[in-house]
């Protein structure tokens, strides 16, 4: 397609092999994939030509962060520690807030127009903090900052489809609220994430399914950037539909053509 907006996507600190799944899902439209701090980037880079239709580059070290981010259209942030059994996502706040801080500051400097897809927990806090960092830098645009809650939707759809015995593709379960404990509000309650964290016993969280969910969400962003109409996903965004300043709800993805992010109330 000659009018396709070829995107540059940066994924700082992705978790190993799982994120190749994410890249494979998106590579049909992205022109560049930039990895930062991926230990096996060189091996992956060699195989990249076979696996992907896009160009792959890897950077490492604080001094290369600016180069990695420079001009990115989408930045997907999965960097940070996962919780261990018995912890809540809020328990990660101290450590992950520091990890993503330098990324947010660098995004404001090197790619202030990028759509930011925040995966790192606690999303309920990393998003409001990111908003403040961008406000201080004078780059905040509420239409471009997303807490990725797609995994809640993926789970809700899977649970519901299993229960009523229909294909997952035939159901839709919007999830509103936030991304922690009782703030995750699908049409039915879910204890999303906790069982996986316990099963992995401290060795990561829902990393693989998050790679899929992250790819679904980033794909919606790519479609929005390419002017595809009516792309709707749930996301944790700045919001005025409740008294809360940030709230996950259905949003139609940011579109260069429409210059606006529609937030609907999921009624
Ligand atoms: N939003 C969601 O639905 C969702 C789903 C799954 C995981 N998560 C969150 O994503 C984050 C990662 O989870 P995971 O299961 O992929 O964990 P993981 O341990 O498999 O991967 C974490 C990645 O972060 C990097 N990292 C760790 N410390 C770092 C530091 N100081 N600086 C830069 N990078 C650093 C690691 O190198 C690794 O690549 C966690 O905060 C987790 O809670 C969110
Ligand atoms: O549960 C976690 O800690 C990881 C993630 O937020 C999830 O929902 O799977």
44-98 tens-digit pLDDT = 443 444 445 556 677 777 788 888 888 888 888 888 888 999 989 999 999 998 8
Could you tell me the distance, in angstroms and rounded to a whole number, from the CA of residue 72 to the centre of ligand 2?
A: 26
| Sign of the dihedral through C-alpha 256, 20, 129, 179 | positive
- CA–centroid distance, 10 to ligand 2, in Å, is 22
pTM above 0.90, yes or no: no
> What is the model's pLDDT at position 254?
59
Instruction: Tell me if the bond preceding 5 is cis, omega within 30° of 0.
Output: no
- Which residue lies with its CA nearest to atom 6 of ligand 2? 193
Ligand 2 site: residues with CB under 6 angstroms? 82-83, 89, 121, 151, 192-193, 196-197, 205-206
Q: What is the pLDDT of residue 125?
A: 94
String of DSSP letters for 216-251: HHHHHHHHHHTT-S--EEEEEEE-SSSSSSEEEEEE
pLDDT for 43: 42
Could you give the CA distance from residue 255 to residue 190 in angstroms, rounded to a whole number? 31
ipTM: 0.96
- Alpha carbon nearest to ligand 1 atom 25, residue: 79
Dihedral-angle region of residue 129 (phi above 0 means left; psi in -120 to 50 means alpha; beta otherwise)? alpha
Q: Ligand 1 pocket: which residues have CB below 6 Å?
A: 13-15, 37, 78-83, 92, 96, 99, 119-121, 123, 148, 151, 179, 204-207, 210
Q: Which atom of ligand 1 is nearest to the CA of 151?
A: 3
Q: How does DSSP classify residue 151? A: H
CA distance 233 to 266: 11
Handedness of CA 67, 70, 72, 76 (dihedral sign): positive
Q: Which atom of ligand 2 is the closest one to the Cα of 123?
A: 6
Query: Do the Cβ atoms of 115 and 225 come closer than 8 Å?
Result: yes
* Full pLDDT tens readout for the chain, 267 residues: 334 455 677 777 655 444 544 555 554 445 555 655 544 444 444 344 444 555 667 777 778 888 888 888 888 888 888 899 998 999 999 999 888 888 888 999 999 999 999 999 999 999 999 999 999 999 999 889 999 999 999 989 888 888 888 888 888 888 888 998 878 888 665 566 677 778 777 777 766 677 778 878 888 887 877 777 788 889 999 988 888 899 998 887 655 443 344 444 333
The atom number, within ligand 2, closest to the CA of 180 reads: 6
CA angle 260/262/267 to nearest 5° reads 175
Ligand 2 atom at minimum distance from 194 CA: 1
Q: How many whole angstroms from 152 Cα to the centroid of ligand 2?
A: 9
**Nearest protein CA to atom 2 of ligand 2, as residue:** 193
The string of pLDDT tens digits covering residues 21-47 is 455 555 444 555 565 554 444 444 434
167 strand-pairing partners: none
Ligand nearest to the CA of 36: 1
- Cα of 14 to ligand 1 centre, how many Å? 7
Residues 54 and 44: their CA atoms lie apart, in Å, by: 13
Active site residues per annotation: 179
User: What residue owns the CA closest to ligand 1's atom 29?
Assistant: 80
- Cα separation, 198 vs 86, whole angstroms: 8
Atom 7, ligand 2: residue with shortest CA distance: 193
CA of 1 to the centre of ligand 2 (A): 37
């Amino acid at each position: 397609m000659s009018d396709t907006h070829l995107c540059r996507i940066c994924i700082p600190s992705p978790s190993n092999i799982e994120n190749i799944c994410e890249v494979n899902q998106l590579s049909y439209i992205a022109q560049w994939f930039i990895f930062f701090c991926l230990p096996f980037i060189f091996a992956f880079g060699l195989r990249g030509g076979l696996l992907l239709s896009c160009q792959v580059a890897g950077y490492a070290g604080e001094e290369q962060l600016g180069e990695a981010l420079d001009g990115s259209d989408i930045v997907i942030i999965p960097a940070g520690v996962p919780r261990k059994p018995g912890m809540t996502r809020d328990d990660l706040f101290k450590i992950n807030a520091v990890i993503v801080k330098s990324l947010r500051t660098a995004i404001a400097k090197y790619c202030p127009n990028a759509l930011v897809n925040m995966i790192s927990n606690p999303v309920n806090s990393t998003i409001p903090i990111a908003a403040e960092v961008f406000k201080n830098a004078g780059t905040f645009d509420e239409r471009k900052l997303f807490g990725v809650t797609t995994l809640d939707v993926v789970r809700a759809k899977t649970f519901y489809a299993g229960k009523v015995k229909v294909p997952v593709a035939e159901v839709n379960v919007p999830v509103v609220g936030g991304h922690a404990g009782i703030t995750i509000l699908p049409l039915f309650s879910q204890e999303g994430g906790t069982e996986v964290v316990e099963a992995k016993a401290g060795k990561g969280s829902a990393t693989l399914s998050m790679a899929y969910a992250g790819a679904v969400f980033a794909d919606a962003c790519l479609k929005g950037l390419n002017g595809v109409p009516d792309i709707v996903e749930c996301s944790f965004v700045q919001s005025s539909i409740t008294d809360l300043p940030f709230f996950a709800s259905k949003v139609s993805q940011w579109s260069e053509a429409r210059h606006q992010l529609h937030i609907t109330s999921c009624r």
